[in-house]
Chains A and B, each alone.
Chain A
């Protein structure tokens, strides 16, 4: 067999025939993927495609500075292959997931255990990492938490108040999304995409629409691309504002907490003004958008947007002005740039550690090819940095929206998405408010989904939270957790 030298190149929102994806024997494929990562790549997705009793591994790597993606695959893997995680820790959860889904073992993986698999009426969490010592004690939290929050289990190893190690066990929200997508698309597919993570409805629905359009070789009309970009920033605004309020609440700074709770609702209501639903359900469709933002409606939206942005500017100013808030935010839960890069963090969590990493800028697709938003970066990697990145993004999203609402493109809103091509692979990335939403679809000979891989940004970032807690007081866990605000359902699928 002739060994191909390089991964195949494609860009965001495009597809290529499955047969053109270069192929290696498992060992060589791991080495080839490692080489891609070593020349500056970042692992977007690593998953298995079942083929009879065997599995093929597929890797999607992003080269952010070059605005390109690369893809490669392995030949059949039956039982085991050498782990990629040893050299590149950012692969650790992906390899656990492949092991859980396809039963092939990444040999040498340092912490091989289930991700979300069911064990009767609970997830198979496996053994937890334990620290031993006379003063060491263990704290278990969840799955049912104190507030109105999704379920997950946190296991802390503490020495007094200090956290030595945090292990996060999820899977409680697992509802079989990826398995249900196989053989689709069907009538249920879109609603399942919209509820991968309910607070990222626009992000995931847009990635899905891009996927189908890429597979069919069509492109949504410009007006629909414009509207999707607007809805995506409204989604970001609502969530970032809510997060600033929640961070304020966790340090008992009630003025900003109370104000942001309400302003978050104002932003959700702007999304509802466009499509009737506060979370953006029913707006994005393959081939375009279902509902238009007519000039009169856009005018109203702009007016209310300006008012909400002014309110949040005031509430944020109180936060930054307060010495007690700064004292609690600064140096709490720090993740270094090296750690963030090594673990493959994405979104505000990566940008708060100084990494310049934003799909809208690095891999522009849709409307972002014509209208850019500066990347918001802050050094430090602590709670303050994650809060500041959000505040920067609130301002920049606000400005983007004010500009875009003033200059809508004309034309139709929806076209036929078309029939997905046979035996084709497509990749769609969207910068959701938590970071990179990645959808990879592979069709069969009839144009149905043979495999549909969803990587929610939380899949990359939960490990970031675990790292942030090292050496922190356990009482700072809620604050650190809020500063990441990751999705359980997006991870659990």
Chain B
């Protein structure tokens, strides 16, 4: 009776995996805001309203220049958006934020108002990893929210394995690391050892404000202010935590899976 019921339920529900990326991406919640944008021409001369409200000191301003916002430090509290008198800093509602280079997360120079989205791996790595990527996750001094929303990608709604991406138990079986957390001093050795155990070629993916820059704990002597202090990083995925869709977009972008086949 029991097996019959569960099977029946499964049949009634059908496939619960989302159509994305073939179909449209699931909508972000209306209050999410997505990636930020800094409109350089709108940033008022002599104004520094956004600077003191930023909890992670993600915004700096040099005299004569517009405000420079580091999306890698941003925890998306929208404090700057709320106080900006000229609406120079705005929310785009865009879930796509992953970049290949740290500097591509700096917003506020002419022509660099938004993040410069990640390019795919080169042909050789793509051929090697594009259809089968095994990652070892290392949690290293964060709050467990990035971990939680990375785990979500394994649930039936997202079904990460349909892209050939899988989280594995041993670094020896992995093609790379997905790192969360500000890299606490107490996790430094464990992270280095895990990295050393991954056979080359290997990728490093930093997920969340902590792993990119230290996030809410930036500047604490107990942390290394992110992954780059310890390891070379191939992909940066901002957020606090990033929405699962933002993480998935980053992974697929890196593998060149979001581009139309030629």
Contacts of B186 in A (CB 8 A): 116, 118, 121-123, 171-174, 492
Given A191-B75, A262-B16, verify A149-B147 contact (CB < 8 Å).
yes
Given A172-B190, A175-B184, A318-B2, verify A489-B31 contact (CB < 8 Å).
no
Contacts of A118 in B (CB 8 A): 185-186, 222
Provide the bound-state CA to CA distance between A175 and B181, in Å.
Answer: 10
Contacts of B31 in A (CB 8 A): 272-276, 291
The bracket for how many chain B residues form the interface is: 35 or more
Residue of B nearest to A122 (CB): B189
Residue of B nearest to A194 (CB): B216
Residue of A nearest to B218 (CB): A188
Given A122-B189, A276-B32, verify A187-B6 contact (CB < 8 Å).
no
**How many residue pairs bridge A and B at CB < 8 Å?**
180
Q: Which of A140-148, A356-364, A469-477 contacts B (4 or more CB under 8 A)?
A: A140-148
The answer to the question of B78 belonging to the interface, with a C-beta cut-off of 8 Å to chain A, is yes
Taking the closest CB of chain A, its distance from the CB of B153, in whole angstroms, is 9
Residue of B nearest to A245 (CB): B155
Residue of A nearest to B193 (CB): A144
The answer to the question of A407 belonging to the interface, with a C-beta cut-off of 8 Å to chain B, is no
Q: Which of B99-107, B134-142, B249-257 contacts A (4 or more CB under 8 A)?
A: B134-142
Taking the closest CB of chain B, its distance from the CB of A286, in whole angstroms, is 14
> Which residues of B198-250 are within 8 A (CB) of A?
215-217, 220-223, 240-241, 243
Contacts of A143 in B (CB 8 A): 187, 190
> Which residues of B137-160 are within 8 A (CB) of A?
137-152, 154-157
Contacts of A144 in B (CB 8 A): 136, 138, 171, 190, 194
Residue of A nearest to B26 (CB): A269
| Number of residues of chain A lying within 8 A (CB) of chain B | 61
Given A151-B139, A187-B54, A255-B6, verify A261-B190 contact (CB < 8 Å).
no
Across the interface, B169 reaches (CB within 8 A) one of A147, A188, A269, namely A147
Contacts of B16 in A (CB 8 A): 262
Residue of A nearest to B177 (CB): A144
Given contacts A118-B222, A173-B141, could you give 7 more A-B pairs where the C-beta distance is less than 8 Å?
A116-B186, A144-B194, A172-B186, A255-B6, A262-B155, A273-B31, A275-B31
Q: List 22 A-B contacts (CB under 8 A).
A: A121-B185, A121-B192, A122-B189, A123-B186, A144-B194, A148-B151, A149-B147, A172-B190, A173-B141, A173-B186, A180-B220, A191-B240, A194-B216, A197-B143, A197-B144, A198-B241, A199-B145, A262-B156, A269-B29, A274-B31, A322-B2, A489-B143
Interface residues of A (CB under 8 A from B): 116, 118, 120-123, 143-144, 146-151, 171-177, 179-180, 187-188, 190-192, 194-199, 201, 255, 258, 261-262, 264-265, 269, 272-279, 281-282, 291, 314, 318, 321-322, 487-489, 492
